[in-house]
Amino acid sequence: MDGVALPRGFTAHVANIGIKDDTDDFVVIASDRPCAASAVFTRSRFAGPSVELSRSHVADGSLQALVVVSKNANVATGPRGLADARELAAGVAAAIGGRVDDVLVTSTGVIGRPYPMGRVRAGLAGLQAPFTGTDARAAAVGMMTTDTHPKTALATLTTSDGATATVVGLAKGVGMIEPDMATMLAFVLTDAGIGRRDLDGAFRRVVDRTFNSLSVDTDTSTSDTAAVLANGAAGPVDPADLEAALDVVCLDLTRQLAADGEGAETLLVVRVSGARDDAQARRVAKAVVNSPLVKTAVHGADPNWGRVAMAVGKCSDDTDIDQDRVRISFGEHEVYPGAVDVTTLARLEDYLRGKEVHIGVDLGIGDSDWTVYGCDLTDGYVRINADYTT
Amino acid sequence: MDGVALPRGFTAHVANIGIKDDTDDFVVIASDRPCAASAVFTRSRFAGPSVELSRSHVADGSLQALVVVSKNANVATGPRGLADARELAAGVAAAIGGRVDDVLVTSTGVIGRPYPMGRVRAGLAGLQAPFTGTDARAAAVGMMTTDTHPKTALATLTTSDGATATVVGLAKGVGMIEPDMATMLAFVLTDAGIGRRDLDGAFRRVVDRTFNSLSVDTDTSTSDTAAVLANGAAGPVDPADLEAALDVVCLDLTRQLAADGEGAETLLVVRVSGARDDAQARRVAKAVVNSPLVKTAVHGADPNWGRVAMAVGKCSDDTDIDQDRVRISFGEHEVYPGAVDVTTLARLEDYLRGKEVHIGVDLGIGDSDWTVYGCDLTDGYVRINADYTT
């Protein structure tokens, strides 16, 4: 998606400050006024100082800017790491003339190395507010680590005054992705006007159905952050309309993140229905989407539905799951129970060769359902991750 | 380990009956008398009829024979699958002149396909008791699916009468391995004499520290079975001595299973110490050994210890884990906290190129510890599993 403009009132500064190489690695996005804001973070016990600081900054429901340092996570860096994160926030606040505690600090990349602070300070010195950047895609590029392409998404809605408000999403992340609260980094910016409490409720509900339903490799980052900033420049909106627009943007980003999982060639969508409750549906769906044997079968276009049965069976604490009531489908084809003839097998192989594969599991217990998003497991994933730091 | 003889009183029949190809796929091991026995099984909700039947057969603590059909799991095969398993047990019982409910039935391989019963019946017709086979290795070969080599283990102990009793273990399994009760298939045969209750208690404790601490790929089989048969032919033993011998045999098999994980090139041993309790130590150790990013780093000999920190951090419900008290080591080298200099990095790379890598995590909370066994994640795993049924 080329040329997505930031919502009115938002501008971006995107630069290379030499964190690792000569690609863009320093992004600041600021609003011309304080915004209603909400954010969710990783629950990791090794969460970095960026997360610690940002959690406290967003606690009052207000933010004005966010800064991203990519290719260094500033995690497991001790007291020095926290001091560096504070200095980063202070530098951004000074540049835009805002409050330090209205700055969200985020960082992803290698763990265990301090920031090269000389370069970070030079980067801060280069900030000239107001920024001139208005292209969301350029900002998303600056956030990338091993992403193969930037991820942006757009939705619009109508304000109470009949004007058009826009919702723009930016995300990055390809590995170490099974968000527990949010994916790697995902930012949603809007000029819609909404109260802090309404925004927070809507965003948390949306994140649960989108970023929290995404898994690339079961590994949870130390840096996951998802945030929304609403500056109200377009005028007030109906909170339900904004929630619908947030849902469109976050689901779009979630699918892009899954499809661009490290080494991924296929977007895998698993929907579990007929569950006792949402939690069960999600637990079973995660077991399927995370199974390396299911993921490799999808990669090999192997219609080995027995592996889906195996993954469902792994949920052994769900004693109400009865293999005689379970139904399994690949796309439109039901594969269990019942025999799969040779013609169907051939059709299934064709189906599995597509860019997007849907696996359906009906538990036959209740009427709750949940959908999760993942990707196949390829030798590309192994290659990328067997040689990352060096 | 070549030429491990079965303990006295046990004989084996190993044959090819054409389940999938022309390699051995049908193994029957029988004792000349009923044995004290114990067995643990997968908790999968898609457990097959072999597991269902065997669970009921071992309930009285007595078994005389076991049969293995390899390369077809007889799972998700409906009422027909259960009838086939019963027929298999009955055929073995008739051949050895034993009771049907003293026969353990096991089966691993592709899921969702009925046995070719014509071939199974021909195989049963070929059984001539007493069997002539006494080589444990040949029996272990007949159990293999995608294993690259058979797995046997041996220990000896002294009976109350001063005689020598032997404990022989046989196992198979390379993928779909994160046993919840036991690994794929593991059998331990001994001529030691022991009461049923003592045997059951000892075996369950040993399985917990060995097979249940093994993970190749987080996927739990529908067919996992671990069983011990003690026929007493060597005379009575001290139960504690037998438990020690079982521990040696089962730990040996566990390490062999981990090292022969699908595509594996490195045995990965993760020990978590300083935990609040055993459950916490095991949970954190499993998070590390199962992390695809840790597994690929080991594969690439990449001393990226930040991924171990990430995996520890994933245990977010363990709120007593404090990153400032955690210590992480690779072999003898402590890597966190503190800086890792270039010389150490080079030494770590050398260490990670070995056939066996030990990762240590001390949580600094209490004094419990647990060790788990796994392997690296390689493109070989992806290749093997992207093309298995076809």
* Predicted TM-score of the model (pTM): 0.82
More confident residue, B59 or B380: B59
Amino acid A215: pLDDT? 80
Highest mean pLDDT among B155-164, B301-310, B378-387: B155-164
Amino acid B176: pLDDT? 62
Which segments of chain A are extended strands (E)? Answer: 10-15, 26-41, 62-72, 103-110, 151-158, 164-172, 185-193, 225-236, 267-275, 327-330, 333-336, 356-362, 368-375
Question: In degrees to the nearest 10, what's the CA dihedral of B14, B16, B21, B25?
Answer: -40
* Stretch 166-185 of chain B: residues touching chain A, C-beta under 8 Å: 175-176, 180
Q: For residue range B124-164, list pLDDT tens digits in order.
A: 999 998 899 999 999 999 998 878 889 899 999 999 999 99
Closest Cα in chain A, distance from residue B231 (Å)? 33
- Residue B334 reports pLDDT greater than 60: yes
Confidence tier at B289 by pLDDT (50, 70, 90): very high
Q: How far out from the chain centre does Cα B151 lie?
A: 10
Q: How far out from the chain centre does Cα A308 lie?
A: 25
Amino acid A111: pLDDT? 83
* Stretch 253-292 of chain B: residues touching chain A, C-beta under 8 Å: 290-292
Amino acid identity of residue A53, one-letter, is L
Confidence tier at A146 by pLDDT (50, 70, 90): confident
What is the DSSP track for A231-258? EEEEEE--HHHHHHHHHHHHHHHHHHHH
Q: Cβ B316–A111 below 8 Å, yes or no?
A: no
ipTM exceeding cut-off 0.85 for this assembly: no
Confidence tier at A176 by pLDDT (50, 70, 90): low
Identify from A219, A284, A344 which residue to disrupt to test chain B contact, counting B C-beta atoms within 10 A and taking the largest count: A219
Tokens standing for A210? 């989108």
Tokens standing for A202? 């809507």
What is d(CA A94, CA A37) in angstroms, rounded to the nearest whole number?
A: 20
Asked if B379 is an interface residue toward chain A (Cβ–Cβ < 8 A), one would say yes
Catalytic hit among B159, B183, B190, B220: B183
Q: Cβ A217–B293 below 8 Å, yes or no?
A: yes
Which segments of B265-375 are extended strands (E)? Answer: 267-275, 327-330, 333-336, 356-362, 368-375
Amino acid A184: pLDDT? 67
Tokens standing for B349? 């790379």
What is d(CA B159, CA B166) in angstroms, rounded to the nearest whole number?
A: 10
Determine what percent of chain B is predicted with pLDDT higher than 70: 94
Asked if A350 is an interface residue toward chain B (Cβ–Cβ < 8 A), one would say no
Amino acid B234: pLDDT? 94
More confident residue, B171 or A12: A12
Nearest to B300 among A175, A307, A387 (CB): A387
Identify from B43, B45, B312 which residue to disrupt to test chain A contact, counting A C-beta atoms within 10 A and taking the largest count: B45
Query: A164 by DSSP, 3-state: which?
Result: strand
> Which residues of chain A neighbour B304 with C-beta distances below 8 Å?
110-111, 388-389
Q: Cβ B310–A221 below 8 Å, yes or no?
A: yes
What is the DSSP track for B192-245? EE--HHHHHHHHHHHHHHTGGGB-SSSPBPSS-EEEEEEEEEEEE--HHHHHHH
Q: For residue range B181-233, list pLDDT tens digits in order.
A: 334 688 899 999 999 999 999 999 999 899 888 887 666 667 778 889 999 99
Q: Cβ B381–A382 below 8 Å, yes or no?
A: yes
